[in-house]
Each structure stands twice: as C-alpha cells, then as structure tokens.
Amino acid sequence: MALLYAVLLAAVLVASAQAQGTLKCQATLKGWAYLPAAAVQGFSGIKTIRDAAGKPTDQFWVITDNGLGSRRTSPDSMLFFHKMKVDWAAHKFTRLDSSFLHDPDRKVPFVLRNEETKNRYLSGADFDIESIQPIGNSVWIGDEFGPYLIEVSTSGRVKGVWDVPNPAGAGLVRSPDNDAIQLPNPDQALPAYNLQRSRGFEGMATYGDFLYPMLEGPLYTTGANGTKSYEARNGLQYLRILKFNMKTKTWVNGTINYGLEINGNSIGDFNMINERHALILERDNNEGDADMACTPGFVNATCWEAPARFKRAYLVDLGDVDAAGFAKKVAYIDLLDIKDPAGVSPASRNGVFKFPFQTIEDIDVYDAASQTIVVGNDNNFPYSMGRALGKADNNEVISLQVPGFFTGGQGCAPA
Ligand SMILES: *[C@@H]1O[C@H](CO)[C@@H](O)[C@H](O)[C@H]1NC(C)=O
Ligand SMILES: *[C@@H]1O[C@H](CO)[C@@H](O)[C@H](O)[C@H]1NC(C)=O
Ligand SMILES: *[C@@H]1O[C@H](CO)[C@@H](O)[C@H](O)[C@H]1NC(C)=O
C-alpha cells in the first residue's frame, strides 16, 4: 500500500491550490463490462486488486449488500463479498470467488438470525454491508443498519464489531435498525437514535493506518435553540466522515464534513486517490434517461417518470478543510455525460454514454498511470430499471479516464 501511494502521489499533487470553487471535469469511457442481472444482488463497494508494484490487475473485490433492503425482508439472504474479474475486450464481468460472513467465535454483540447454528452465517436481517476495505489478512466492512464497523478474515470469519461513537454529542450513532433500539411501553420516552434507517456507512476509504467510514445520511441532532433537525449548514445537509485507527482498533476523535449539493442526495462510495484527495459518489434516487422523460401528467411504460438528474463523482480534498470542518469539493464529473468517441459501449448514443442508475455504489482508482477510475452500480435485483424501460438492470462496471481528477482539477472548467 505504501508503495502504491508513493507512486500515486508523484503523479498527483500538482495543483489543487489552483482550484477555486468547484470545477467540472470531463470523463471519457475507456472500458465497459457487465454481469448479467441474476439472483446475485449488485455491488455496493469496490476495490481494485493491485500487484506488488501497485499496478491494477483485472480483478476487483466487491461487496453485496443485505439483499432485499430491510431487516424484515432479508433473513434468508446471506452476506458475502466476492472476487471479480473483468475482461474489457469481451465486456464481461465474472465472479471468481465468494466469501460468506460467519461468526463462530460469537463476536457479534446481539442475537443473530442464525444464532444456534454451528457456523453462524450472517444474514441480511443482521447487517446491511455497504463498504469494503481489504487490508492485509482482514477485510473491513461498513454496515449501515447499526451502523457498525466490522472486521472479518479474508474467508469472512468475524474478528470484531465496533459501535460508533456519536461525533455530535454523547452516546452512539444509532439508526432505528440498531439492535439496541427497543420500543418502550407507550407511557415511556422513546430511546435515543439519531440517524435515518439505512443511512450508515455507505462509503469507507482508507489511508495508512486509518479507515474513514462515512455516513450516508446526516445526523439528527439538537440545535442550540433546543429543536431537533438533520445537520445542515445554510440549509444544506451534510454528512460526517469518521476516523478509525486499525492498529489500535479505536476511534479517533473528530470528523470531516461533506456538504451535499441537494438535500436528500446520498453518497454511494468513497475511496482515496492519494493521502488527501478522495473520490466520492453523490447521487439522487432516480433512474433512467432524462431524454426519455414522461410528459408530466402523461406517464406510461414508454417513458421514465422520474429520470436520473444528479449522478456525480466528486474529487474532494480532505486536506483542505474550512473552520467549520467542511472538506473542499474540488471538482466533479457528470456520470450522465461521459464522452464515448470510440463507441466502447453499445449503450452510448451520439458519442455520449450515461450511467443513469438509481444506486451507483462503487468507485475506486483503477490505474493512476492512465488516469482512470472505475465506477459501478448496484442493480438491486430485480428492482432497479435504469438502463432499459421495464428490464431489470445488469451490474455494469466502467473505467473512465479523468485526467483532471489526477491533477487536482487541472484542465477542468468552472461549473
Ligand atoms: C432552531 O434552529 C434550527 C437550525 O438549527 C432551525 O432550523 C429551526 O427553525 C429553529 N427553530 C426555532 C423554533 O427557532
Ligand atoms: C475523545 O473525546 C472523548 C471526550 O472528550 C475523550 O474521553 C476520549 O479520550 C477522546 N478519545 C481520543 C482517542 O482522543
Ligand atoms: C406515453 O407518454 C409519452 C410521454 O409522456 C407520450 O408522448 C406518449 O404519447 C404516450 N404514449 C401513449 C401510448 O399514451
């Protein structure tokens, strides 16, 4: 890892000082591959597998989330992560291997769906796993139910589970799906929880000895006037990036804030480019091609009622944080406006490729030398239909050349 980042750093830290405000960079499609829609759910986090010299191989780690969305609908959906292989020439993304999460050592601090079984396989009723960082002999996983941070072996055996300290006050970060949240009798006060359901660790980056788990939704806190609200600045909600020391296995005080562009947007995934620049996906909850939007009031099966409008990858400078703790959003690419002059994907039209999926949940550096990143969707099989009307989405993975992301925004234009 150290070597990889040394190599990247040389190529990168050119001129972020030059960036004023948020810049818009252009991405060009270099590779397109897919895994056909199938009863293996889509991918919620990705990590490029590199060789000893830091060069990308054709393999990736990806993680599948809890299955069918909620604790109640997913008890028979096992939790796992996979090793995948891409063949850009054949446009194929194939599964090589899967590791199922299991807890025979009883590390999980609550009763599992499969509590009394020998291997205690984890299910989608226990956790919703959304982010992945394989490091050494461990795979670190961010959960969005509790939320929790989970450490497992490369074969998926749980080594540890961590609660999340509340960075905005006393106690812990808890969503209504945290196992410790129990409804009291009707005459009692409700227990304290401060995060919307399914808004836990959607993204988690790493650098050096640290993990940076990032909440998908804003914390719900009590303001100075005693009123409760979702954390916002100037009316715009923001998300907390926490910090965890993998050596000491303890949380580090202090967070970095990520300001959303539009309230209600979600982040999809989060990885570092170098020691201070990060890739963060920010998206709306819509799907489909806006060129085929329904006329308001005339909705039918030939058009998209609420097509994708906001699907971006941001370059964020975690080393440039203002007095209120907000990281600088240096630049972005529009995933609905990708150049495809070579006709890499059959889905492109008039030289433009769109990635109009509801949940775009995978982003990582692919190859710093060729200034490429990799991006993928979670197809929420069989629900999401963003590529073709009435057809369950495949899992698509694309490689994008984005020179501006590797030069701190150089060559990009003010948005
Ligand atoms: C209290 O402050 C919040 C912002 O922190 C604001 O949204 C809300 O309107 C305020 N409520 C009152 C009653 O002043
Ligand atoms: C974080 O802050 C709390 C409360 O201020 C303190 O008790 C704790 O020791 C701090 N932890 C670290 C790692 O600094
Ligand atoms: C379907 O909706 C589109 C756009 O709203 C409209 O142009 C088209 O005429 C409609 N088709 C039918 C068969 O109603």
How confident is the model over 76-91, as pLDDT tens digits?
A: 999 999 999 999 999 9
Q: What is the pLDDT of residue 21?
A: 67
Please name which ligand lies nearest the alpha carbon of 230: 1
pTM summary value: 0.92
Do 317 and 307 meet the contact criterion of CB atoms below 8 Å apart? Answer: no
Pairing of strands 23-25, 236-245: unpaired
If one residue of 210, 253, 255 were mutated to test the ligand 2 pocket, choosing by the most ligand atoms within 8 A of its CB, it would be 253
| Amino acid in position 331 | A
Query: Would you say the CB of residue 248 lies under 6 angstroms from ligand 2?
Result: no
Ligand nearest to the CA of 255: 2
The CATH number that domain 2-414 falls under is: 2.120.10
Residue 82's SS3 state is strand
Distance CA 336, CA 355 (A): 6
Longest dimension (CA), the chain: 66
Residue 51 makes CB contacts below 8 A (sequence gap 6+) with: 57
Higher-pLDDT residue of 15 and 248 is: 248
DSSP-assigned beta bridge partners for residue 311: 283
Average pLDDT, the chain: 93
Q: Which of 152, 159, 204 is nearest to 46 (CA)?
A: 204
Ligand 1 centroid, distance to 242 Cα (angstroms): 26
For the segment 349-364, what is each residue's pLDDT rounded down to a tens digit? 999 999 999 999 999 9
Is the pLDDT assigned to residue 5 strictly greater than 90?
no
Instruction: Return all residues near 17 (Cβ < 8 A) that are at least 6 apart.
Output: 408
What amino acid is encoded at 415 in this protein?
A: A
% of the chain residues with pLDDT over 90: 89
Stated as kind and residue range, the H or E segment containing 8 is helix 2-12
Amino acid identity, position 204: M
**To test the ligand 1 pocket, which listed residue (227, 234, 238, 263) has its Cβ within 8 A of the most ligand atoms?**
227
Q: Who lines ligand 3 at CB under 6 A? A: 294-295, 298, 300, 302-303
Which residue has the CA at smallest separation from atom 5 of ligand 1? 223
pLDDT category at 39 given cuts 50, 70, 90 is: low
> What is the band of 415 on the pLDDT scale with cuts at 50, 70, 90?
confident
Give 12's pLDDT tier (boundaries 50, 70, 90).
Answer: very low
CB 105 within 8 A of CB 158: yes
